[in-house]
Structures are given as structure tokens and as C-alpha cells.
């Protein structure tokens, strides 16, 4: 079953954001019949890479309430207290931040961590440092979203450009209701996604863990609230 899931994930249909790149590769492949075999191979390799990079497999969020899910595939590179981006207008006190680094081999479609309403979206220009560096959260170009959960908690998700990434796409708007596991955007090529937990909620993951966007549980609100009250 695991092998079947891996194969279906690799062969998943591409995200719409990848269509222009895939078409460019196919055009180059066709032009190769007129201009030489080297262009055929270049177009073929580029097309296959884009089909793989922009793959958009279906994900199945856990059927439980009060969970915060991974907003992206990749490896956790930082778990530490930090203030959310000031442009979101959230409280400035430190809260737990989980940073996920996406290599070019990871699925790059971003997923909503929890059901709620988008209250703020703020885009900020910046640098293009390696997304694996912790200072990328502050220095790099980013798109930040604030989400208010049904119980009043507020979380922040930040799409961060990387060394190669030059394009952050976000498909939701302020005021939109969202459901845990929904797609909300994509970052082209290597990048990073940060999740800021509600104040008083601790993460259940550690640095080095591998995340599956829309499925891996990063925190549990009810569990943390009960533990805090105790």
C-alpha cells in the first residue's frame, strides 16, 4: 500500500501554476524536431521535471477537531518562540513558530493548517536568502496569512521565498472561510513555510521531522488547553 501511495503521489496531476512551464517544455520538445535532438532532450527533461515539481496529490486530513496541521511538505528546520510578522497586526508577544523547509523534491502546494476565516493577508518584498537559514523568516520575500479559528484562536502562516524561488502564489482572500487541508497557494521551487501557533499552545513536532502538508499534526489545541488549565 505504501508503494502504491508513493507512485500515485509522484503521478499526481500538476497544480495549475505549473501549466505554463509544462507547456513551455512541450513546445521546446516539438521545436526540437526542427532544430535538433538536443532541444528534444532538453524539452523532455524540463517537462518531466515540471510535472514532478508541480505535482498536487490529494491529502486526507485527520477527522478530528482542534488540530493544527502542517501547512507544507518538507523538513522541520526550526521550532522556537517568535513574534508573528508585524504586518498581520496580531499580538506581538512570542509564540511557538514551526518552520518547514521545502527542497525542490518536495510537493510545494501549501495547505490550510486549521478551519477558520482568513482575517489578513500581507505581502512583503525582501531578499532571497537560502530558505534553510533561520533569518530567512525575517529577511526574505514573504506572504503572510492570519487565520481566526472558530474558538477564537489566531494563527499565522507565512509563505517564504527561497534562494531560487521568485514567485509566491496565494489563492485565498481576506474574509474567505477555509477548511483544514484546503490548498491555499504554492511557492515555486525551493522555499519555506512558517506556522505560528496560538499563544499558549506548544508544538508536538521537533526539528528534523518530515512533514506531510495537510496531514501531519503539528499541535493539538484541546490537548494544550487542557494541559495549560491543569
Task: For residues 97 and 196, give the distance between their C-alpha atoms in angstroms, rounded to a whole number.
Answer: 4
| pLDDT of 65 | 84
Q: What is the dihedral sign for C-alpha 109, 19, 49, 163?
A: negative
Task: For residues 147 and 107, give the distance between their C-alpha atoms in angstroms, rounded to a whole number.
Answer: 23
What would you measure as the largest C-alpha separation in the chain, in angstroms?
73
Of 215, 219, 185, 220, which Cα lies nearest the Cα of 60?
215
| pLDDT of 196 | 97
Of 34, 24, 55, 29, which Cα lies nearest the Cα of 44?
29
Q: Which residues are catalytic?
A: 191
**Nine cell digits for residue 23:** 507547456
Note whether 112 and 77 are within 8 A (CB).
Answer: no
Please spell the DSSP secondary structure of the chain, one letter per residue. -HHHHHHHHHTPPBPGGGHHHHHHHHHHHHHHHHH-HHHHHHHHHHHHHHHHHTB-------S-SSEEE-SSSEEEEEEEEEPPPGGG----S-EEEEEEEE-TTS--EEE-SSSEEEEEEEEE--B---TTSTTHHHHB-EEEEEEE-TTS-EEEEEEEE-SS---EEE---TT-EE-TT-EEEEE-SSEEEEEEPPTTPPPS--TT-EE-TTTSEEEEHHHHHHHHH-
**Average pLDDT per run of 10 along the chain, which is 230 residues long?**
51 84 92 89 93 91 92 95 92 92 90 96 78 67 94 93 75 95 86 92 95 96 51
Note whether 214 and 70 are within 8 A (CB).
Answer: yes
Assign residue 141 a region (left: φ > 0; alpha: ψ between -120 and 50; beta: otherwise).
Answer: beta
Note whether 182 and 157 are within 8 A (CB).
Answer: no
Amino acid at each position: 500500500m505504501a508503494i502504491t501511495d508513493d507512485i500515485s503521489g509522484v503521478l499526481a496531476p500538476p497544480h495549475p501554476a505549473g501549466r505554463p512551464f509544462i507547456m513551455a517544455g512541450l513546445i521546446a520538445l516539438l521545436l526540437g524536431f526542427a532544430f535538433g535532438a538536443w532541444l528534444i532532450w532538453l524539452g523532455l527533461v524540463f517537462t518531466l521535471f515540471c510535472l514532478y515539481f508541480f505535482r498536487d496529490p490529494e491529502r486526507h486530513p485527520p477527522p478530528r477537531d482542534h488540530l493544527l496541521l502542517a501547512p507544507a511538505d518538507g523538513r522541520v528546520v526550526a521550532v522556537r518562540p517568535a513574534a508573528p510578522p508585524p504586518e498581520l497586526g496580531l499580538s506581538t508577544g512570542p509564540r511557538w513558530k514551526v518552520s518547514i523547509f521545502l527542497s525542490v523534491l518536495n510537493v510545494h502546494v501549501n495547505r490550510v493548517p486549521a478551519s477558520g476565516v482568513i482575517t489578513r493577508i500581507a505581502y512583503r518584498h525582501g531578499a532571497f536568502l537560502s530558505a534553510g537559514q533561520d533569518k530567512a523568516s525575517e529577511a526574505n520575500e514573504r506572504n503572510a496569512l492570519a487565520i481566526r479559528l472558530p474558538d477564537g484562536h489566531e494563527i499565522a502562516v507565512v509563505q517564504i521565498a527561497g534562494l531560487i524561488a521568485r514567485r509566491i502564489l496565494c489563492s485565498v482572500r481576506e474574509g474567505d472561510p477555509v477548511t483544514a487541508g484546503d490548498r491555499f497557494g504554492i511557492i515555486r521551487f525551493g522555499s519555506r513555510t512558517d506556522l505560528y501557533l496560538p499563544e499558549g499552545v506548544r508544538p508536538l513536532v521537533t526539528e528534523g521531522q518530515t512533514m506531510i502538508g495537510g496531514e501531519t499534526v503539528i499541535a493539538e489545541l484541546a490537548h494544550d488547553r487542557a494541559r495549560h488549565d491543569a
